[in-house]
């Protein structure tokens, strides 16, 4: 196999070895995720020759269509969404191993047909009985599919199960789902996906901290004043009312994406970068977090407002939403990690829909110098040093420092040292799903969520939601196009701080 030096197309993905021959079975192949993310990711892996030479994809969904119709629909998806140029030779090689089975997820006979199809592919292509099952399905179908896979799977090689979020609706349901999984799959075979962990800049947090001797000595309560994590979206619920009315922002974003970002930011150095070592340290962070009091959590719901100059509807006006809905579309909180490294250091987090712009950032604000002799000479107020990690959309890292303004006298102004991925590397960043699908095929679970992580996340969310059940909020409480309800600003103002203006 070519190295990145021999083949520049491989730059941007760490290639350790080619996955074993296998079949990827996608349940929910007619859904939006398959069209927008999974097949464009598979095409990009094929484009870089990272897929096994003996490889097939089987789509399973309720939609009635044949193999050729499925291939044509996925071809259109790749042409519109893949990050690489479309090449007929690459697509034809991928499409050759594509099959489709129309089936209801509760139809046991259909699962038997699937098993027969997989056996045929093994014989035709030599995929050796290795299976990756990707569950891009509604949570209501999860239990039935997992049981059928466990009971009817005839794989003679290894098996891996990729599970999309949400894994449960609360701690009780998550444990119930895991009991079902454990009946048929070993934990080492289960890959719970959080696509944020596949983003290069999230992974870069590990490199930033542990590959640079200048950061780790000051990455603690003695030097860090506080941390801010923002996950902002300008879009609304995008016709997902049925899901969102049950989940809200706290289950959709807080429980998984945001707590994972916090855990990676706060974790101790792992003894190595194997899956269990990294995930062990993340679990320690989650276990060290205490439940915030009612005054430390803010929830919101957007009303009518303006996004990029266009008026948009309020949440209660969205199709399928209860006109009296109390579902949260915004959550802000002050959290603490009660361990030796972070004791008394606040982690301020916020996430929401219909905010002014799309961005995900992690800001580490350091304490001010104990005796700033230049404070009176600062041109616009000498700001604290801040290390800002841009997760999306403009991936990179920025460090705010004080510098002298050119000219006579000494005037100090805050300037930024910026590192942008697009400017530093020749090729574009791989999409998160490219890395995650490849890692699942390789059996590397480092960037996937282990069950004890999921349970710790749900414990915190359940405690917050339980406190909310005691009152009825006055929604909507922030207009679309703003940064959330006024109480979110008050959350920091009480501590003499404010949200960063990026």
Q: How far is CA 246 from CA 166, 226, 240, 261, 327, in A?
A: 11, 32, 10, 23, 8
- The answer on pLDDT for 1 being more than 60 is no
Distance CA 114, CA 133 (A): 12
CA distance 358 to 354: 9
Options 152, 257, 390, 502, the catalytic residue: 257
Q: What is the pLDDT of residue 11?
A: 44
Contact criterion met (CB below 8 Å) for 129 and 56 = no
Length of the chain measured in residues: 502
In this predicted structure, the answer to whether residue 359 has a pLDDT above a threshold of 70 is yes
Residue 6: pLDDT over 70: no
Q: What is the pLDDT of residue 277?
A: 93
In this predicted structure, the answer to whether residue 334 has a pLDDT above a threshold of 70 is yes
Please state the pTM of the whole predicted model: 0.89
Exposure string over 266-283, b if 16+ CB within 10 A, otherwise e: bbeebeeeebeebbbbbb
190 phi and psi angles, rounded to 5 deg: -105, 130
Query: How do 396-404 and 412-420 pair as beta strands?
Result: antiparallel
Query: What's the rounded Cα separation, in Å, for the pair 90 and 64?
Result: 27
Q: Name which of 145-159, 213-227, 243-257 the model is least confident about.
A: 145-159
pLDDT, tens digit, for every residue of 274-284? 889 999 999 99
Instruction: Over range 79-97, report the average pLDDT.
Output: 92
Note the pLDDT tens digit of each residue in 133-143: 999 888 778 88
Q: Is 390 a catalytic residue?
A: no
| Structural tokens at position 248 | 């809200």
Checking if the pLDDT of 428 tops 70, the result is no
Report the candidate in 458, 264, 281, 453 with the shortest Cα–Cα distance to residue 347.
264
pLDDT at 142: 86
* Strands in 13-117 per DSSP E: 22-27, 55-61, 98-102
Lowest-confidence range among 93-102, 147-156, 491-500? 147-156
Q: pLDDT tens, 165-197?
A: 878 899 999 999 999 999 999 999 999 988 888
């Amino acid at each position: 196999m070519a190295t990145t030096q021999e083949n520049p197309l491989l730059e941007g993905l760490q290639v350790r070895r080619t996955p074993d021959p296998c079949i990827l079975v996608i349940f929910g192949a007619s859904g939006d995720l398959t069209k927008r993310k999974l097949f464009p990711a598979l095409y990009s892996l094929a484009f870089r020759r990272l897929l096994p030479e003996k490889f097939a994809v089987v789509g399973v969904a309720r939609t009635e269509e044949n193999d050729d119709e499925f291939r044509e629909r996925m071809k259109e998806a790749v042409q519109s969404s893949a990050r690489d140029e479309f090449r007929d030779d690459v697509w034809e090689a991928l499409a050759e191993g594509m099959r489709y089975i129309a089936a209801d997820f509760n139809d046991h006979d259909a699962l038997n047909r699937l098993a027969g199809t997989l056996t045929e592919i093994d014989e035709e292509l030599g995929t050796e009985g290795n299976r990756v099952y990707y569950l891009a399905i509604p949570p209501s179908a999860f239990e039935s599919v997992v049981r059928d896979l466990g009971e009817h799977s005839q794989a003679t090689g290894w098996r891996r199960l990729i599970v999309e979020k949400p894994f449960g609706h609360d701690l009780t349901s998550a444990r119930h789902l895991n009991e079902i999984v454990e009946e048929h799959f070993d934990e080492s075979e289960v890959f719970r996906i959080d696509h944020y962990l596949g983003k290069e800049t999230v992974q870069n947090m590990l490199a930033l901290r542990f590959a640079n001797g200048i950061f780790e000595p000051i990455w603690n309560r003695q030097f860090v004043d506080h941390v801010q994590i923002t996950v902002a979206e300008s879009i609304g619920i995008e016709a997902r009312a049925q899901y969102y009315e049950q989940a809200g922002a706290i289950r959709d974003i807080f429980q998984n994406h945001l707590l994972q970002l916090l855990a990676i930011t706060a974790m101790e150095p792992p003894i190595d970068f194997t899956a269990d070592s990294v995930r062990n340290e993340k679990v320690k962070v989650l276990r060290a977090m205490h439940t915030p009091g009612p005054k430390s959590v803010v929830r919101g719901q957007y009303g009518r407002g303006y996004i990029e100059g266009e008026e948009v509807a309020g949440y209660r006006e969205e199709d399928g939403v209860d006109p009296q809905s109390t579902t949260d579309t915004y959550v802000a909180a002050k959290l603490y990690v009660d361990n030796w490294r972070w004791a008394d250091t606040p982690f301020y987090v916020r996430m929401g829909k219909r905010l002014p712009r799309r961005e995900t950032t992690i800001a580490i604000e350091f304490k001010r110098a104990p005796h700033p002799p230049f404070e009176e000479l600062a041109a616009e107020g000498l700001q604290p040093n801040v290390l800002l990690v841009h997760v999306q959309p403009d991936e990179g890292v920025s460090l705010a420092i004080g510098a002298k303004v050119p000219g006579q006298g000494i005037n100090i102004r805050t300037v930024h040292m910026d590192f942008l991925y697009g400017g530093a590397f020749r090729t574009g960043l791989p999409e998160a799903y490219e890395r995650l699908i490849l890692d699942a095929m390789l059996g590397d679970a480092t960037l996937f969520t282990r069950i004890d992580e999921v349970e710790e996340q749900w414990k915190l969310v359940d405690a917050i939601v339980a406190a909310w059940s005691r009152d009825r909020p006055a929604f909507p409480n922030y207009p679309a196009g703003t940064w959330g309800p006024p109480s979110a600003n008050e959350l920091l103002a009480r501590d003499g701080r404010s949200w960063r203006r990026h």
